[in-house]
Structure 1
Amino acid sequence: MKVLLTGAGGQLGRCLQDRRPADWRLLAADHKTLDITDVQAVSRRVKQFQPQLIINAAAYTNVDQAESDRERAYAVNEHGARYLAQAARHAGARLIHISTDYVFDGEGLRPYVETDPVNPLNVYGRSKLAGEQAVLQECAEQPNVADHAQSGAAPRQPRPDAPSFIVLRTAWLYSEYGRNFVKAIVAGALQGQELNVVNDQIGAPTYAGNLAQAIIQIGRMPDLPGGVYHYSGSVALTRYEFARKVLDALGEAQRLGDSSEAFRFTPIVSGQHSVAASRPKYSVLDNGKIQKLGVKEGDGVDVCLRRMVAALLRG
């Protein structure tokens, strides 16, 4: 199968390349080799390669910087997604587009299902929501983004004759690659820093390797109906609780014993942490829909962290 991967240099892109199936002919494009905000470049690349599946792992992910860089965030997260969806439709290719838990406002009290109302709190979340709608609009008539954000209307089903376009929301990605929360905690601890971590934001940390395996499974399911799906880790944690697990893994790897004794870290509330963008207080995703279709969960957070931290220490 011919597969075009965008965002190949990011966490998910790198993990997908590590796990590439033998029967995939993969064209892995990072932002230097394919600017998805250039509609002509996207169209030309898809026409040349003629993929059967496009995985859009490209995204503007700097949540705080997006507040002052709105134009670029929307260029990548909305317009780039639209251009890829248009090119996929013209080529008759399937599309898996990666989105985020940050389309929700965090006022919920239970894990979010795909049809729950959306109401992003920041530019990043709004631009990713716009990208979701741009993708789905290529398969079926959709309400506009503003109406969808206000009403929480469930996305309509794609046309029966349209290629299968999947919007796959995930959350709190971490891996050995790029910049992420786990690597920041490990680096700070090894440098002897006192770590202040918010304890009032709850999510489900997702190992990018597990997400990559889920995407590969989805890629092997040509009859999977198009639409929105959730895939994230299965354990809900506060940022502080997640940091503690990271430090437990680090302490175990270094044989230091109790992480609370070996490292200095303190729980704080969001108001004590100065950032440009608001975050949802609760953004746990419900994976039930996609699990019922046979997509596997992957290893748990403790196993993934032990493996990842050991790899980081090995360099």
Structure 2
Amino acid sequence: MTILVIGNKGQVARALVERAGGDVDVVALGRPALDITDETSIRAAFEAHEPDLVINASAYTAVDKAESDEAAAFAVNRDGPAHLANVCAETGTPLIHYSTDYVFDGSKHGAYVATDPTAPLGVYGRSKLAGEQAISAAMNNYVILRTAWVYSPFGGNFVKTMLRLAADRDELSVVADQYGCPTSALDIADATFVVARQILDGHGRYGTYHLCGSGETNWHGLASEVFAVSGDLGGPSATAKPIPAADYPTPAARPANSRLDGAGLKQDYGIQLPDWRESVRACVARLISEGTTP
């Protein structure tokens, strides 16, 4: 089967390319070869590759920058998915699209289920929610996978930032009152291919699901785990000092609760991601073995 991945530089796009099995021909295209904000560019890619399924791994993810760059965020996160959904609807091509915990305001006490009311706090969350709405308005054969706290051996992310900072500092202050489910991009890729295969086999169900690492923690807990694993393996380590989010102000407000309930995906697709600690350990071990930590 031929799967067209929109985007080729981000964490999830790179994970999809790495994790594709022998039965999957992945074509990952980003700018300038494919510009998701240009429907003509999307159509050209469809004509050239005739995909059986499309995965949209392209997104504007600069959460703080989005507050002052709203037009660009909406162009990529709302208008791009709208263009893509239009072409998918015309060609009958199923679409898997990634969204975010930022569509919620974080005020719920428990983990969010996919049917909970949305209430994004900032531009990034609003633009991603608008993308979801554009897809659901244009087509029926889609799966939206909301995820959170994504990290990987690729690109920039919290895990790699902690390792980089630990190389120069003995102690780091890390927010301890924002909770979520750390999620490996490699786990996301593996789960996505399970969904894709079931869709193409005719057994998949469409709709919106939550996809995240099992268990929960806060940023301080995640940093502490990264440092513990890295230290055990001879990599950079530091002490994580817990602080409230109020002591680390950012242009964009973050949800205090980003916990996502993945029960729907387990029920419909048999997917449950590993415990977040297990995947963090694997990521840190890989970074150290590859010599890509500072």
TM-score relative to the length of structure 2: 0.94
Contact 1:47 1:91 in 2 (8 A): no
**CA deviation string 1:110-155 (max 9, x = no partner):** 111111000000100000000000111112xxxxxxxxxxxxxxxx
Provide the aligned C-alpha RMSD in A: 1.4
Is the deviation greater in 24-33 or in 64-73?
Answer: 24-33
The answer to whether the aligner puts 1:214 opposite 2:191 as a matched pair is: yes
**CA deviation string 1:147-180 (max 9, x = no partner):** xxxxxxxxxxx4xxxxx21111011101000110
Amino acid in structure 1 at the alignment position of 2:29: A
Amino acid in structure 2 at the alignment position of 1:131: G
Amino acid in structure 1 at the alignment position of 2:233: A
Is the deviation greater in 197-206 or in 41-50?
Answer: 41-50
The answer to whether the aligner puts 1:171 opposite 2:148 as a matched pair is: yes
Equivalent residue number for residue 61 of structure 2: 61
Measured after TM superposition, the shift of residue 33 of structure 1 is: 2.1
The answer to whether the aligner puts 1:205 opposite 2:185 as a matched pair is: no
Contact 1:110 1:284 in 2 (8 A): yes
**CA deviation string 1:197-252 (max 9, x = no partner):** 11110000001111101100000112322211111011111111111111111111
Distance 1:101 1:134, change over 3 A: same
Q: Of 233, 239, 242, which aligns to 2:219?
A: 239
Q: SS at 1:112's partner residue?
A: coil
Measured after TM superposition, the shift of residue 97 of structure 1 is: 0.5
Q: Any residues of structure 2 matched to 1:39-54 within 5 Å, and which?
A: 39-54=39-54
Q: Of 218, 222, 230, which aligns to 2:210?
A: 230
Equivalent residue number for residue 296 of structure 1: 271
Measured after TM superposition, the shift of residue 31 of structure 1 is: 2.7
Number of aligned residue pairs: 287
Q: Distance in 1 between matches of 2:280 and 2:118?
A: 30
Q: Distance in 1 between matches of 2:179 and 2:32?
A: 35
Q: SS at 2:127's partner residue?
A: helix
Measured after TM superposition, the shift of residue 255 of structure 1 is: 7.7
**CA deviation string 1:86-107 (max 9, x = no partner):** 1111111100000001100000
Q: SS at 1:121's partner residue?
A: coil
Q: Distance in 2 between matches of 1:109 and 1:192?
A: 35
Q: Distance in 1 between matches of 2:147 and 2:38?
A: 26
Amino acid in structure 1 at the alignment position of 2:164: A
Q: Of 145, 163, 168, which aligns to 1:186?
A: 163
Is the deviation greater in 284-293 or in 185-194?
Answer: 185-194
Q: SS at 1:14's partner residue?
A: helix
Measured after TM superposition, the shift of residue 17 of structure 1 is: 0.6
Contact 1:46 1:88 in 2 (8 A): no
Measured after TM superposition, the shift of residue 193 of structure 1 is: 5.6
The answer to whether the aligner puts 1:277 opposite 2:248 as a matched pair is: no
Q: Distance in 2 between matches of 1:14 and 1:221?
A: 22
Contact 1:233 1:300 in 2 (8 A): yes
Distance 1:54 1:191, change over 3 A: same
TM-score relative to the length of structure 1: 0.88
Contact 1:52 1:92 in 2 (8 A): no
The answer to whether the aligner puts 1:123 opposite 2:123 as a matched pair is: yes
Amino acid in structure 1 at the alignment position of 2:269: G
Q: SS at 1:185's partner residue?
A: helix
Please list every run of 5 or more consecutive structure 2 residues that lacks an aligned counterpart in the other structure. none
Q: Any residues of structure 2 matched to 1:242-257 within 5 Å, and which?
A: 242-254=222-234
The answer to whether the aligner puts 1:310 opposite 2:285 as a matched pair is: yes
Q: Distance in 2 between matches of 1:12 and 1:295?
A: 21
Distance 1:228 1:255, change over 3 A: closer
Amino acid in structure 2 at the alignment position of 1:59: A
Q: Distance in 2 between matches of 1:47 and 1:191?
A: 50
Amino acid in structure 2 at the alignment position of 1:224: G
Q: Distance in 2 between matches of 1:72 and 1:167?
A: 22
Is the deviation greater in 57-66 or in 81-90?
Answer: 81-90
Equivalent residue number for residue 262 of structure 2: 287
Distance 1:82 1:168, change over 3 A: same
Instruction: Work out the percentage of aligned pairs sharing the same amino acid.
Output: 40
